[in-house]
C-alpha cells in the first residue's frame, strides 16, 4: 500500500449517508453522518484533495503527483449529498464529484434500485418476498423454474434462505430492469407512496444540482435510468446517455465529461470502456473496484473505494 500511495490517487465513493435507525428492516446500509464527517477529516489529514483538472492531467499521464492525491465522489444524486456538500465539504474548501441519474429529475420516477432498497427497509422480509413474487409475470416464474435458478441463486447468496436467494437472483440477474421497476412501482402504489413524493424525499432537486455546479463541484453522468450500460442495446444506450447529457448541460450550462458507471462492477461496464468514453465525450470513467489509481492506469475505468471498505481499511 505504501508504494502505491507514494504517487497515486485515492477516489472515495459515497452512497447513503443517513440515520439507519429510521428503517425497521435490512435493505439500506447507510453510513451515519458523524462517521462520514470523521472519514472526511481523517482523509484530509493524510491526502491532498485534487481538482478535477489535476485529476484529468494525472490519469491521462500528463503530470505526476508528488504526494498521494484524493478525490471525493458521490453517486446517485441522493438528497443527503446536498447536506454533505453544504455542511461538510464546502466549509473545508473541498470540491467533489456528484454523479446523478436523470430519470428522477426528468420523469419524477424513482430509480429501481432505490425503490427496492426502500421497500425492503420498510417491509418484513418474508412479506416483501411473497408480495414481490406475486407480482412477477407468470412467464418469468416459469422461466426461472426451467432454468433451475434456485441452485445458481443458492451459490450466489449462500447466507440467504433458498426462497430469498432466488428472489435476489431474479432481481439482480434474471428479470429485465423494466419488470423489476414496474413491480417496485406497484409495491409503492400499494403503500400509497407516489413516485413524485418518493423522488422529493430521496433525491437532490434540480435547483440543488444547479447550485452544486455553481459552487464549483462537478456533476458527473450516471445514465438516465441507472440500468447497467452493459445490459443496454445500442439504441437504448445511445438514448440513455444522450438524454442525460442534454438534460444536465441545459440545467447546469456545462457539458459533462465524467461518467460513473451504474453498478460500477466489471459485469455492468461496457466491454470497451475507452471506446464508450470516446464515443460520448467522457474524459474520465469511474468504476467501483477498490484500490489506488496510478498514472499508467486507464482514465476510462478508475478504481474507487467505498465508504464501508474505507471503514474496514483505515478507521
Ligand atoms: Zn449508482
Domains along the sequence of the chain with CATH: 2-109+202-313 (3.20.20.370), 112-197 (no CATH)
CA of 222 to the centre of ligand 1 (A): 7
- pTM for the model stands at 0.94
CA of 225 to the centre of ligand 1 (A): 10
**Residue 11 pLDDT:** 97
What Å distances lie between residue 109 and 54, 118, 182, 193, CA to CA?
Answer: 36, 14, 11, 12
**Residue 299 pLDDT:** 97
Distance from C-alpha of 232 to C-alpha of 247, rounded to nearest angstrom: 20
**Residue 70 pLDDT:** 97
SS3 assignment, position 298:
coil
CA of 213 to the centre of ligand 1 (A): 19
Q: How confident is the model at residue 297 (pLDDT cuts 50, 70, 90)?
A: confident
CA of 240 to the centre of ligand 1 (A): 14
CA of 252 to the centre of ligand 1 (A): 20
CA of 262 to the centre of ligand 1 (A): 5
CA of 202 to the centre of ligand 1 (A): 13
**Residue 149 pLDDT:** 85
Give the least confident one: 4-13, 17-26, 122-131, 157-166. Answer: 4-13
pLDDT tens digits along 257-274? 999 999 999 999 999 999
**Residue 3 pLDDT:** 54
234: pLDDT strictly greater than 80: yes
Bridge partners of residue 78, in order along the sequence: 203
Q: List, as one string, the DSSP characters of 230-279.
A: GGS-HHHHHHHHHHHHHHHHHHHSS---EEE-TT-SGGGS-SSHHHHHHH
**Residue 112 pLDDT:** 96
CA of 260 to the centre of ligand 1 (A): 8
SS3 assignment, position 219:
strand
CA of 145 to the centre of ligand 1 (A): 30
SS3 assignment, position 14:
strand
Q: Mean per-residue pLDDT for 146-151? A: 85
Give the least confident one: 84-93, 152-161, 278-287. Answer: 152-161
Amino acid at each position: 500500500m505504501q508504494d502505491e500511495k507514494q504517487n497515486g490517487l485515492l477516489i472515495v465513493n459515497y452512497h447513503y449517508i443517513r440515520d439507519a435507525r429510521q428503517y425497521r428492516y435490512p435493505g439500506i446500509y447507510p453510513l451515519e453522518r458523524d462517521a462520514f464527517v470523521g472519514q472526511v477529516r481523517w482523509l484530509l489529514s493524510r491526502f491532498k484533495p485534487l481538482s478535477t483538472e489535476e485529476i484529468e492531467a494525472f490519469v491521462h499521464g500528463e503530470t505526476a503527483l508528488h504526494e498521494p492525491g484524493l478525490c471525493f465522489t458521490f453517486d446517485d444524486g441522493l438528497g443527503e449529498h446536498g447536506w454533505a456538500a453544504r455542511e461538510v465539504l464546502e466549509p473545508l474548501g473541498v470540491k467533489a464529484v456528484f454523479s446523478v441519474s436523470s430519470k428522477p429529475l426528468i420523469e419524477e420516477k424513482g430509480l429501481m434500485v432505490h425503490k427496492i432498497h426502500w421497500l425492503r427497509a420498510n417491509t418484513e422480509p418474508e412479506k416483501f418476498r411473497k408480495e414481490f413474487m406475486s407480482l412477477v409475470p407468470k412467464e418469468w416464474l416459469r422461466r426461472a423454474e426451467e432454468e433451475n435458478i434456485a441452485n445458481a441463486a443458492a451459490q450466489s447468496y449462500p447466507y440467504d434462505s433458498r426462497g430469498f436467494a432466488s428472489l435476489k437472483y431474479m432481481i439482480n440477474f434474471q428479470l429485465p430492469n423494466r419488470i423489476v421497476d414496474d413491480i417496485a412501482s406497484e409495491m409503492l402504489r400499494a403503500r400509497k407512496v407516489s413516485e413524485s413524493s418518493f423522488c422529493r424525499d430521496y433525491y437532490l432537486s434540480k435547483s440543488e444540482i444547479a447550485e452544486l455546479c455553481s459552487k464549483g463541484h462537478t456533476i458527473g453522468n450516471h445514465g438516465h435510468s441507472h440500468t447497467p450500460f452493459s445490459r443496454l442495446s445500442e439504441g437504448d444506450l445511445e438514448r440513455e446517455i444522450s438524454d442525460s447529457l442534454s438534460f444536465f448541460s441545459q440545467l447546469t450550462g456545462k457539458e459533462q465529461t465524467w461518467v460513473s458507471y451504474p453498478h460500477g462492477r466489471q459485469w455492468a461496464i461496457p466491454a470497451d470502456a475507452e471506446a464508450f468514453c470516446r464515443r460520448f465525450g467522457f474524459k474520465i470513467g469511474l468504476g467501483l473496484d477498490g484500490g489506488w489509481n496510478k498514472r499508467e492506469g486507464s482514465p476510462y475505468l478508475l478504481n474507487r473505494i467505498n465508504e464501508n471498505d474505507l471503514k474496514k481499511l483505515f478507521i
